[in-house]
Structure 1
Amino acid sequence: MRRFIASAALLVLALGPTLHAQATATARPARIVLAPPTKGAPEAIKTASMASVIARGDSLQLPGTREPVPGAPLSHHIAGFAVTLCGAVFITGLEPADAAANVGFFAGPLKYRSEVKDTVIDRKTQTVKLTLKNGVTRVARRYGSQGCVPLPIGEDSVHFTPSIVKSALPPATTTPWPMGDVLPKKTDWAGVDSALVAQAVAEAFGPDSAMTLGFVVTYKGQIIGEKYAKGINLHSQLESWSMGKSLTGSLVARLIQMGVYRLDQAAPFPEWQKPGDPRQQIRIMDIMRMSSGLRILAPQDPGYKENEAVYPDHLYLYTGSVNEYAYAASRPQQWKAGTVGRYRNVDPVLASYLVRLGAEKLKQDYHAFPTRALFDKIGMRDVTIYTDPYGNFLGQGAEVIAARDWARLGNLYLQDGLWNGERLLPAGYVEYARTIAPGWLADGRPVYGGGFLWINGDGREPLPTNAFAFLGAGGQSAWMVPTHGLVIVRIGKYRGSNASEAPLRKGMATLMKAVKPL
């Protein structure tokens, strides 16, 4: 199998129905046909210098300036902290002191947590209330299956009706893996050195400083290695951050397979439909490649310099306590779509918006759609995706998910989108998703594909260069290795992310020795 690095001209997309067309159960799903893959992994591609990436971006910029986000940065940071505490305590099951010291630094940075003078954790109402030294109070509350929501300042409720979404699957305790949790008695697999696998699991889990919570390895879909920290188990829903982007891409792919969208169609957001709006040229595939070209500020922008007085839109899309879909759809263009790759939350938020529009087009319960369309199909039971106060899923990374469920999703990709004979993702979609995006390749950064997947194109990880991943802040990862039939999932506490890198790489290198190529 091969990761393609050439231009989008290699893609041939058969047209299917658009969002504006009538979607029916008999609608023909879009098919994505790519050039046939070749065997083996290609050579690593040299990464361009940061100065080169910045210069290229500057040369292609369209006229315009960024509009600052509303509100005080410190208030936003503490809203993020409140959501982190809410999820860690009420869903994952961590103790408040542990959560405050060790998790969720991305949306609620550790250095600002000392500004909180009063913390109230109400287990009865599943509410976290944080009051700053300046008197500002930020509140996050758990709402049904919609997770932990940051409430607007001065408000005590959300602008949607929360609901409980239950899996339609039979009990996992009596259902064989992967649809359930009952593992086969077989522990030895042809082509697998079990002793080396055990060594790899121990290495990858790392020392206590790595703070790994869950580690799962599957080979040809079967679990061959697994380990959890004390107090954590196979059902524990763990902070996964931007791994959720890949999950959102999978939901958009489900809608493509169901005949609602095409990858090559213009993104059908109502906010972009006025005559002459240049954003009508942005395709769904551009959004899914982090290449929409929309103008926001993100800490991952090349050359970004932190300024405590300037709060990035990238984070505001988690903590703003506004209609985040409307905010994302209101951003102007900075580059022509598809020309420049930038890791910015505006794109996965818009992809989540597509999921909402698509589910509503199908007249399905939006909050139940991920469960019915995907999770129930592949055995995922321990998933919570958070929403904003308007009930919009924040699929860019506000979720807690069990390690085994990430392994299930990873295996869906290794199986080319097929599960038990049913096509869940369009034919060719996985190849599209693990192909380096043209805008990123042109930037000299061979690391990002379609469907919000990361690619090992620069050979940074001790895996073949056609390995691809769901990655999240804090050291969260699920690597798919097609050449070896492996899915490698590592989830841990945010504080341990730096200490976890070397052990994880050592463990992955050992796995490459433990498992023979297919």
Structure 2
Amino acid sequence: MVKGLLCVALLLFTATVFAEAWPTKDWSQGPQLSGPAVKALEDYAFAPRNEVTREGIRTDALLVIGDGQIIYERYAAPVTASTPHLTWSISKSLMATVLGVAYGEERFKLSDPVARFYPPMKQHPDITLADLLHWASGLDWQEDYEYAPLKSSVVAMLYTRGRADMAEFAANTESFSAPGQVFRYSSGDSNLVSAALKGMLGPKGYVDYPWAALFTPLGIRSATWESDANETFVASSYAYLSARDLARVGLLMARDGRWGERQLLPKAWVDFNRQPFEHYQAGQDEAVPGGHWWLNRGARGAARAWPDAPADTFAALGHWGQALYVLPDEGLVIVRYADDRDGSYRHNELLKRVLAAVARQVQP
């Protein structure tokens, strides 16, 4: 009898020790990173800010989740742990994650023509949802901001003649190649994804869908997502979340779409997000595009974008230094919010320093 009780106690102890940590109302705190490697990380990420020239690396938030717990967290005023921060193009990966829930509900197939759900795309009948998610629609989109604003498709869409109905503006873009053949990064493609989702759900089902499908199940409370005048979410740019809430999306992706006991995203969807676009050519962008996420895996001769990070690292990235990094094999999720303006920040350098700090922490 005593032996049997000891076995039960051992099993319960083992289950407790190896139980996965998940955030409930808030994140639990794990062993905090410390030591010289953390100072080296902070010297890079939180260098003194020049508020006059706005030059240099200007981190607003840095949050590191290790095995489902907070192991490092720092903010630069006025940003705090509860501040919903503009994510810029991280919004694209968020929309892909919301779309993954609809995929699990069998509302569409990746091979479906976009025009099936969004009639203005009938002028481009061969473009599929997979093409949009690979930023390979073949639409002649110019994704320039500061360097060529007068020729910029994205500036026109967000701020001038396209701002009332951004998806329709993108749909009216002429083609430069057949769909699915050429990668060209496009905020227009992302807003077409948003319009397609609206067509699948209808306006009433769509307006609350990101919350019902994703944010509420993950316990996200800070999310705001702006829409255009046509009440379509601006999937390219305008989602706001706190760093802690964005990290929940990263943990979901790190664990193959599972949240606790629930498979919120089909694993096949996460696999698609993490599969390199087959027609990507080395040098077209810093990282390799997957399904609306950025990958550290080489493709067609491309070297790893972030050589000091594991090959399975993937990320959601946004303008002015926004980043959500997911390192599944390391059990790490990293959120960085920023106000970078001069291009001096390097993803690889931050990842290298975080990994060095974590390695020091786990040394016996």
Out of 293, 299, 302, the residue aligned to residue 144 of structure 2 is 299
The 2-side partners of 1:213 and 1:433 are apart by 27
Is 1:334 the counterpart of 2:179? The answer is: no
Q: State the 1:234 CA deviation.
A: 1.1
From 276, 284, 289, the counterpart of 1:436: 276
Determine if contact 1:340/1:439 at 8 Å carries over to the other structure: yes
The Cα shift of 1:295 comes to 1.6
CA 1:338–1:196: 2 relative to 1, 3 Å = farther
Q: Helix, strand or coil for the counterpart of 1:428? A: helix
Aligned to 1:30: none
Comparing both structures, which one devotes a greater share of its residues to helix? 2
CA RMSD of aligned residues (A): 2.8
Provide closer, same or farther for how the CA distance between residues 416 and 203 of structure 1 changes in structure 2, counting only shifts above 3 A.
farther
The alpha-carbon distance between structure 1 residues 200 and 465, as it changes in their structure 2 partners (threshold 3 A), is: farther
Shift of 1:244: 0.7
Instruction: Provide the C-alpha distance between the structure 2 equivalents of 1:403 and 1:497, rounded to a whole number of angstroms.
Output: 22
Structure 2 residue aligned with 1:347: 189
* 3-state SS of paired residue (1:478): strand
Distance 1:197 1:401 in 2: 28
Identity %: 25
| Aligned residue in 2 for 1:270 | 119
* DSSP-derived class of the 2:107 partner: coil
1:448 aligns with 2:292: no
State the Cα deviation string for residues 10-62 of structure 1 (Å, max 9, x = none).
xxxxxxxxxxxxxxxxxxxxxxxxxxxxxxxxxxxxxxxxxxxxxxxxxxxxx
Displacement after TM superposition at 1:344 (Å)? 1.2
CA contact (8 A) 1:403 1:489 kept: yes
1:404 is matched with which residue: 244, 259, 271?
A: 244
Change (3 A) 1:314 1:182: closer
3-state secondary structure, aligned to 1:214: strand
Provide closer, same or farther for how the CA distance between residues 397 and 367 of structure 1 changes in structure 2, counting only shifts above 3 A.
Answer: same
Structure 1 stretches of 5 or more lacking a match?
1-175
Alignment of 1:199-278 (within 5 A): 199=39, 202-203=42-43, 205-209=45-49, 210-267=57-114, 268=116, 269-273=118-122, 277=123
Q: Distance in 1 between matches of 2:80 and 2:22?
A: 16
Alpha-carbon spacing, 1:322–1:423, altered in 2? closer, same or farther (3 Å): same
- Structure 1 residues 224 and 179: alpha-carbon distance in aligned structure 2, compared to 1, 3 A threshold: same
CA–CA distance in structure 2, aligned partners of residues 481 and 442 of structure 1 = 22
Paired residues, number: 326
Distance (Å, rounded) in 1 between the aligned partners of 2:141 and 2:283: 18
How far apart are 1:323 and its partner, in Å? 1.0
**What letter matches 1:228 in structure 2?**
Y
How far apart, CA to CA, are the structure 1 residues paired with 2:126 and 2:74?
Answer: 47
**TM-score with structure 1 setting the length:** 0.58
Do residues 287 (structure 1) and 132 (structure 2) align? yes
What displacement does 1:226 show? 0.8
194 and 428 in structure 1: CA distance in 2 versus 1, 3 angstrom threshold: farther
Are the aligned partners of 1:475 and 1:498 in contact in 2 as well (CA < 8 Å)?
no
Cα distance in 1 for residues equivalent to 2:141 and 2:177: 11
Give the match for residue 159 of structure 2.
319
1:513 is displaced (CA, Å) by 2.9
CA distance in 2, matches of 1:501, 1:284: 29
Match of 1:485 in 2: 331
Instruction: Determine the C-alpha separation between the residues in 1 that align with 2:339 and 2:280.
Output: 29
Distance in 2, Cα, partners of 1:449 & 1:515: 32
Judged with a 3 Å threshold, the aligned counterparts in structure 2 of structure 1 residues 311 and 299 are, in CA distance, closer, same or farther, namely same
TM-score by length of 2: 0.81
Deviations 1:201-258 (A, max 9, x none): 5245321232211111111221111111133211101122111110011111111111
Contact 1:289 1:448 in 2 (8 A): no
2:28 to 183, 191, 210: 183
User: Deviation per CA, 1:338-388, whole angstroms, max 9, x where unpaired?
Assistant: 110011111101111122122318x52x22211111000111111111111
| Structure 2 CA distance for partners of 1:319 and 1:445, relative to 1, 3 Å | closer
Alpha-carbon distance in 2 for matches of 1:465, 1:515: 22
For 1:264, the aligned partner's letter is S
Q: Cα gap change, 1:473/1:326 in structure 2, threshold over 3 Å: closer, same or farther?
A: same
Over 3 Å counting, the alpha-carbon distance change for 1:346 and 1:414 in structure 2 is: same
CA distance in 1 between counterparts of 2:192 and 2:156 reads: 14
Task: Name the SS of the counterpart of 2:323 in structure 1.
Answer: strand
CA contact (8 A) 1:469 1:479 kept: yes
Contact 1:287 1:347 in 2 (8 A): yes
